[in-house]
Structure 1
Amino acid sequence: MPLTGQALVTGGAGFIGSHLCESLLRKRFRVVCLDNLSTGRRENIAHLTDDPGFVFVEGDVAEPEPLWSTGPVDLVFHLASPASPVAYLKAPLETLRAGSRGTEHALEVARRWGARFVLASTSEVYGDPAEHPQRESYWGHVNPVGERSVYDEAKRYAEALTMAYRRSHGVDTGIARIFNTFGPRMRADDGRIIPNFVRQALTGEAMTVYGSGLQTRTLCYVDDLVEGLLALALGGASGPVNLGGTEERTVLELATEIARAAGGTATVPPVEHRTLPQDDPGRRRPDLTLARDLLAWQPRTSLADGLALTVAWFRERTAGAAPATARPGEPVAR
């Protein structure tokens, strides 16, 4: 079969990036995966390295040299950035550089080759929102000097830069605002709610809940999120377009559901409350009207099914078995 085209994925060894690389290969793209492995992992892409259509380049998107070695490309996906609070608070300057220099370098690649460019932005651009659910037209409620600002403002700048390249240089761009996403290949130590709760449920520890636990989140399974990114890339929408889940839960409800998915029998799992971090949003849920209208996209995997797959992956990985990443009823991908 002939190749569909060539794609560059920055941050391709990360959680979402590795799933995106995998999906692009299935669609017959040649894939160049660029990652400096600061938060990405080689094991996430180890099963792809024997594919003749896959090339891994270890390099930092904030430095231009690795990008110019990738050759002509038709699609550029810019995902490179620490994404969890634990990661970006440890590397604040690197996070800002990934969103500023890194975005500019990736945009220059797209400009040079006439490629379609997709920015992986974030729901964090809405901050602690006064609007619920959040529409793309909402400008946000963000603290520009708080600890989280290194990530929030890096992504807001990246969006502004992407639109400037579109207006000034005619680069074909799309912006995805990604809401909480979960699934296999998340780092167990990244501090986010799903890996924290899954690890604690599997080891019998108390669930760590920050604040009252009444703050809400929606969660999108990673396979669905990748389908949304591809729909944006292969379409003509400029965005921003929200991509995320619709099943809203409080943090305490999520703790209970994850405990049950892990085989717990208690009606309410043991919980350890800790101080709520600065600027942690009270409610977060995307308005998906644009995603449905422009991309014909909405999440397909239920929260229960996604949690079951994620818990199974963490359990098997802990036991040293090959992780299951397939949907219910589909063959397991190795």
Structure 2
Amino acid sequence: TCTVRLFSVFGPRLRKQVVWDFMNKLSAKPDELSIQGDGGDMRDLNHIRNVVEAMLLVAEKGAMTGDVYNVAARESVTIDELAGTLAAAMGLSPRILHTGVGRPGHARSWKADTGKLESLGFEPVMSYGDGIADTVAWFRNLKGAP
């Protein structure tokens, strides 16, 4: 057996986590986005297509001897950068408000070491920007928005 550890997954059909929350907030209130904390937290965001490709690769080529494979897109972004990218993809320019208070016990930064996965030949199939565009398109279709 082995372990596949996923980092900050987003994409169509995932109806939780920061990307989903921000899209819902922006859809309800397009001129303003409230962000918990100071916006400086880092996340290694990872589109679901990358996750699927990584799992298939590990199943095909991975060592089933207790190894751990970190699955991440290698593109860390701050929460503020994510908010800006999402807003732009939605055609919005909201005012960003920070609560200044993060969640107790919440990690400020997630950066995965994907070396073991890359040694199997893994390359992300969906970039961060394309993944955001794909997710926003799905969200618009789901909500019936133009």
Same topology, TM > 0.5: yes
Query: What amino acid maps onto 1:257 in structure 2?
Result: T
Native 8 Å contact 2:71 2:117 kept in 1: yes
Deviation of residue 205 (structure 1)? 5.4
Query: Matched residues in 2 for 1:285 and 1:298: separation?
Result: 17
Q: Secondary structure at the match of 1:296?
A: coil
Higher-RCO chain (CA-CA 8 Å, sequence separation at least 6):
2
2:88 is matched with: 260
1:227 matched to 2:46? The reply is no
1:284 matched to 2:110? The reply is yes
Native 8 Å contact 2:3 2:69 kept in 1: yes
Would the alpha carbon gap of residues 256 and 320 (structure 1) be closer, same or farther in structure 2, given more than 3 Å must change? Answer: closer
Q: Secondary structure at the match of 2:113?
A: coil
Q: Secondary structure at the match of 2:4?
A: strand
1:109 is matched with: none
Native 8 Å contact 1:196 1:208 kept in 2: no
* Aligned partner of 2:97 among 255, 265, 272: 272
Query: Matched residues in 2 for 1:185 and 1:253: separation?
Result: 22
Unaligned runs of 5+ in 2: none
Q: Secondary structure at the match of 2:98?
A: strand
Query: Matched residues in 2 for 1:302 and 1:178: separation?
Result: 16
Q: Give identity over the alignment, percent.
A: 30
Query: Matched residues in 1 for 2:69 and 2:41: separation?
Result: 24
Would the alpha carbon gap of residues 258 and 231 (structure 1) be closer, same or farther in structure 2, given more than 3 Å must change? Answer: same
Native 8 Å contact 2:50 2:73 kept in 1: no
Q: Secondary structure at the match of 1:211?
A: coil
RMSD value over aligned CA atoms?
1.8
Alignment of 1:296-315 (within 5 A): 296-315=121-140
Query: What amino acid maps onto 1:213 in structure 2?
Result: G
Deviation of residue 240 (structure 1)? 0.6
Deviations 1:99-129 (A, max 9, x none): xxxxxxxxxxxxxxxxxxxxxxxxxxxxxxx
TM-score normalised per structure 2: 0.89
Deviation of residue 278 (structure 1)? 1.4
Query: Matched residues in 1 for 2:63 and 2:105: separation?
Result: 31
Native 8 Å contact 1:177 1:241 kept in 2: yes
Which 4+ residue blocks in structure 1 deviate beyond 3 angstroms?
A: none
1:213 matched to 2:39? The reply is yes
Query: What amino acid maps onto 1:276 in structure 2?
Result: G
Deviations 1:286-312 (A, max 9, x none): 12111111x211212111111011001
1:185 is matched with: 13
Would the alpha carbon gap of residues 279 and 205 (structure 1) be closer, same or farther in structure 2, given more than 3 Å must change? Answer: farther
Choose 1 or 2 for highest CA Rg: 1
Deviations 1:33-56 (A, max 9, x none): xxxxxxxxxxxxxxxxxxxxxxxx
2:144 is matched with: 319
Deviation of residue 320 (structure 1)? 8.2
2:22 is matched with: 197
Query: Matched residues in 2 for 1:310 and 1:210: separation?
Result: 22
Deviation of residue 174 (structure 1)? 1.4
Query: Matched residues in 1 for 2:143 and 2:25: separation?
Result: 12
Native 8 Å contact 1:176 1:242 kept in 2: yes
Query: Matched residues in 2 for 1:273 and 1:320: separation?
Result: 27
Query: Matched residues in 2 for 1:271 and 1:207: separation?
Result: 5
Deviations 1:155-177 (A, max 9, x none): xxxxxxxxxxxxxxxxxx11011
Q: Secondary structure at the match of 1:245?
A: coil
Q: Secondary structure at the match of 1:298?
A: coil
1:237 is matched with: 63
Query: Matched residues in 2 for 1:207 and 1:300: separation?
Result: 30
Deviations 1:250-285 (A, max 9, x none): 111110110000011x3xx32232331111111111
